[in-house]
Amino acid sequence: MEVKLDLMNKINCGDTLDLMKNIESNSVHLAITSPPYNVGKDYDSHNDLMEYDEYLNWLTKVWIETKRVLIDGGRFALNVGPTGIRDFRPLHHDLSNRLREIGMIFRAEILWYKQTMLKRTAWGSWKSPSNPHIIPSWEYVLIFSNNSMKLEGDKTKSDITRDEFLNFSDGHWNILPVTKNRKGHPAPFPEELIYRLIKYYSYEDNTILDMFGGTGTVASVAAKNNRNFIHIDISKEYCEIASNRIKKID
């Protein structure tokens, strides 16, 4: 019989499809991730420029595994950018369609307003309607539910405050991105973004998965807020950064 690895509350370094096989079905309450966007970012151990269909097919395999490990009522929060001005592909629509095709319930989009325009001069035709671009100053967090909208849980383990609930229920979230590269990672999450998702969508003692965990923001915020975490990333360098972050919490 094949022995499964225990991935819980550990930084697990390896390919996500290989490692996710070790996660029990129906055991995760909330998955939060930001996958590689396939825009040619300079990751340590990943080709971020695949053919588009190959890229979508690969991520769909990861989403099928995600659905398998989520409990009924479990949520998936997928951070993804809006339509880019290089290839004009609506990745957020394409990924949503794939997730709906495999049976996930689409329930909301949060608009993460980053208050920054990275390429402020990339407006296409300047002061002319001939070919102007919309410059993305935001990203989405798309929220899906697995099989049921309702997540059962112990009421005494709900730890969101009244003011947080009021504030986070407005889906326009103004959060500054992490500007300085966290030891070379091109796209780390800001902790505030993850804090809001974890508080809004999970109970204390729930299990939170990030299958493209990078420098461990999800793991770290989960641990600080009395949740279990499962962290997976293929890069040894990023896993080491994540391990150091987790060690500092104990």
Ligand X SMILES: C[S@@+](CC[C@H](N)C(=O)[O-])C[C@H]1O[C@@H](n2cnc3c(N)ncnc32)[C@H](O)[C@@H]1O
Distance of CA 247 to the CA centre of its chain: 22
For the CB of residue 89, give the shortest distance to ligand X in the complex, in Å.
17
Among 188, 200, 206, 222, binds ligand X (CB under 6 A): 188
**Does residue 54 interact with ligand X by CB under 6 A?**
no
Distance of CA 77 to the CA centre of its chain: 6
Q: Choose between 145 and 235: whose C-beta lies nearer to ligand X.
A: 235
Among 16, 22, 96, 146, binds ligand X (CB under 6 A): 16
Among 20, 22, 23, 36, binds ligand X (CB under 6 A): 36
Q: Which burial class, exposed, middle or buried, applies to 84 when counting CB atoms under 10 A from its CB (0-12, 13-18, 19+)?
A: middle
**Does residue 76 interact with ligand X by CB under 6 A?**
no
Among 11, 20, 22, 43, binds ligand X (CB under 6 A): 43
Q: Choose between 152 and 239: whose C-beta lies nearer to ligand X.
A: 239
Question: How far apart, in Å, are the Cα atoms of 95 and each of 50, 55, 63?
Answer: 15, 10, 10
Closest residue to ligand X in the complex (CB): 214
| Region 107-166 residues binding ligand X, contact defined as CB under 6 A | none
- Conformation bin of residue 38: beta by default, left when phi > 0, alpha when psi is -120 to 50: left
Residue with tokens 């939170």: 208
For residue 165, give the amino acid letter.
F
**Does residue 173 interact with ligand X by CB under 6 A?**
no
**Does residue 63 interact with ligand X by CB under 6 A?**
no
Residues 6 or more apart whose CB falls under 8 angstroms from that of 1 comprise none
**Does residue 232 interact with ligand X by CB under 6 A?**
yes
**Does residue 185 interact with ligand X by CB under 6 A?**
yes
CB 72 within 8 A of CB 146: yes
For residue 234, give the amino acid letter.
I
**Does residue 46 interact with ligand X by CB under 6 A?**
yes
Q: Choose between 78 and 99: whose C-beta lies nearer to ligand X.
A: 78
For the CB of residue 97, give the shortest distance to ligand X in the complex, in Å.
21
Question: How far apart, in Å, are the Cα atoms of 14 and each of 27, 119, 243, 247?
Answer: 20, 33, 14, 20
**Chain positions contacting ligand X, by CB under 6 A:** 15-16, 34, 36, 43-46, 185, 187-189, 212, 214-215, 217, 232-235, 238
